[in-house]
Amino acid sequence: MLARREVSFLTFFLIWASLQRWVVPLLHVRICEWLDKCDARVRVLMVFRGAAKSTIYAVYKAYLLYKDASRRSLIYAADDKLAGKLTRDTLAVLRRHPLCAGMLPSHPGALSFWVTGASDARNPSMEAVGVNSNATGSRADDADFDDIEVPKNIRSPDARAGLRRKIDESTHILVPGGRKTFVGTPHTHDSVYDEQISGGAAALRIPLFESAVRYTETARRTRYRFDFPVGGDGLYVLAGISKFSRLMIEGRDYRVEGDEVVFSAPPDTVLDICSGCAWPERFTREEIESRRRETRTLSAWDSQYQLEAKPLTELRLDPARILPYEHVPEIRRANGRSGLWLGETEIVGATAYWDCSLGKIRSDASAFSLILTDARGQLYWHVAEGLSGELAEFDSGDRIVGGQVARVREIVTRFAIPRVVVETNGPGGFVPNILRQALKGTRCGVGEEFSTTNKQKRILDAFEAPLSSRFLWAHADVLSGPVWDQMKDFDPQLRDQPDDYLDSAAGAILQTPVRIGRGAKPDGKMVGNPNTDMSDDDWRPAAGVYEVIVELRTED
444-484 pLDDT tens trace? 999 998 877 788 888 988 998 888 778 899 999 999 999 99
Mean pLDDT computed over every residue of the chain: 85
| pLDDT for position 110 | 78
| pLDDT for position 363 | 55
List phi, psi (to 5°) of 80. -60, -40
Q: How far apart are CA 435 and CA 445, in angstroms?
A: 10
Q: Residue 536: helix, strand or coil by DSSP?
A: coil
pTM (2 d.p.): 0.68
| pLDDT for position 454 | 82
| pLDDT for position 10 | 97
Q: What is the pLDDT of residues 172-190, one digit of tens each?
A: 889 999 999 999 998 877 7
Query: Of 357, 398, 248, 307, which Cα lies nearest the Cα of 47?
Result: 307
List phi, psi (to 5°) of 485. -70, -35
> Is 9-206 a CATH 3.90.1420.10 domain?
no
Rg of the chain taking only CA atoms, in angstroms: 31
Q: In the chain, list all ranges with CATH 3.40.50.300.
A: 9-206
Q: In the chain, list all ranges with CATH 3.30.420.240.
A: 319-511
**Run of H or E including 162:** helix 157-173
| pLDDT for position 314 | 65
Class of domain 319-511: alpha beta
Q: How far apart are CA 386 and CA 368, in angstroms?
A: 6
Positions of the chain with pLDDT lower than 50, given as ranges: 1-2, 360-361, 516-535, 542-556
Q: How far apart are CA 382 and CA 305, in angstroms?
A: 37
Residue pair 162/125 in contact (Cβ under 8 Å)? The answer is no
